[in-house]
Amino acid sequence: MSSSMTEHDPLLLSAYHKAIQEHAEPLKSFAARMLTEEPEYAEDVTQDAFLALYRHLHAVPQHAWRPWLFRVLRNLCLDRIRRWKHKPRAFRTLADDENRDPSPADTARADPAALAETKEIHKDLELAIAELPEKFREVFLLCEREGQSYEQVASILDIPLKTVSTRLYRARQRLLKSMSKYLQD
C-alpha cells in the first residue's frame, strides 16, 4: 500500500486546512514586501510554501508550522530575488499604490488634505521599508508587520537572537531617519 500518511489522518489534514486559513494572509503580506520588485508573485510563493508544508506534514511538528512556513517562504522569496538579479529588465515595474487606500479612515467625511498627507506618509514609509537592506527589511517585516517574536524570527531566519534585535534596531533607526521630515512637525 503506497498511499501517504496524510490520506489516513483526517485530523492532520484538518489542522493543515486551518493553518492555511490562519496564515495565508500574513505570509502573502510578508512575501509581497520581500518581493519589492514584483510583489504580484507573493501569492505564488505563498502557495509554494503551503505545498512544501503539505509534503512535510508528518515531519514538521504542528506547533512549529507557522515559523516553518515563514522560513520556507523567506527562502522561496530569496530564490526569486536571486533569479531577478540575473534577469535583464528594460523597465522597473511599480506597484499600483495609487489605487490603494492607505488607511481605514472614513473617506466620505475625512479632510482631503489630511487624506493626501496620510497617503503620502504611507507611500514614503513603504518606500523606506523597501529600500532597507534585505537583512534589515526581513527582520523588520517579520517583527513589526507579522507580529513574530524575536525567538520566532531567529528560528525563521536561522540567526542568533541578538542578531534579530540588532537588525531590528538598525532597521528602525534607518526608518526614523528616512521618515524624519514627518516627525519634526
List all residues 6 or more positions away from 38 whose beta carbon is below 8 Å from its beta carbon.
80, 84, 93
Proportion of the chain in helix, strand, coil states, percent, rounded to 5: 75, 0, 25
Which candidate, 146, 135, 136, places its Cα nearest to that of 176?
136
pLDDT value for 82? 80
Residue range 12-38: mean pLDDT, rounded: 90
Confidence of residue 135 (pLDDT cuts 50, 70, 90): very high
Question: Cβ atoms within 10 A of the Cβ of 69, count?
Answer: 24
On the question of pLDDT at 56 being above 80, the answer is yes
C-alpha cell at 144: 513589526
Question: What are the pLDDT digits (tens) for 67-119?
Answer: 999 999 999 998 888 876 654 443 333 333 444 444 444 444 567 877 787 88
pLDDT value for 90? 35
Q: List the domain boundaries for the chain.
A: 1-93, 110-185
Question: What are the pLDDT digits (tens) for 162-179?
Answer: 999 999 999 999 998 988
DSSP state of 59: T
pLDDT value for 2? 40
CATH topology of domain 110-185: Arc Repressor Mutant, subunit A (1.10.10)
pLDDT value for 85? 63
DSSP 120-177: HHHHHHHHHHHHS-HHHHHHHIIIIIT---HHHHHHHHT--HHHHHHHHHHHHHHHHH
Instruction: Round the average pLDDT of the chain to a whole number and report it.
Output: 81
On the question of pLDDT at 3 being above 80, the answer is no
Q: Does domain 1-93 have CATH number 3.30.70?
A: no
Residue range 56-64: mean pLDDT, rounded: 90
d(CA 28, CA 9): 27
pLDDT value for 125? 87
Comparing 115 with 131, the larger pLDDT belongs to 131
pLDDT value for 96? 38
Task: Evaluate whether 1-93 and 110-185 have a shared fold.
Answer: no
C-alpha cell at 178: 528616512
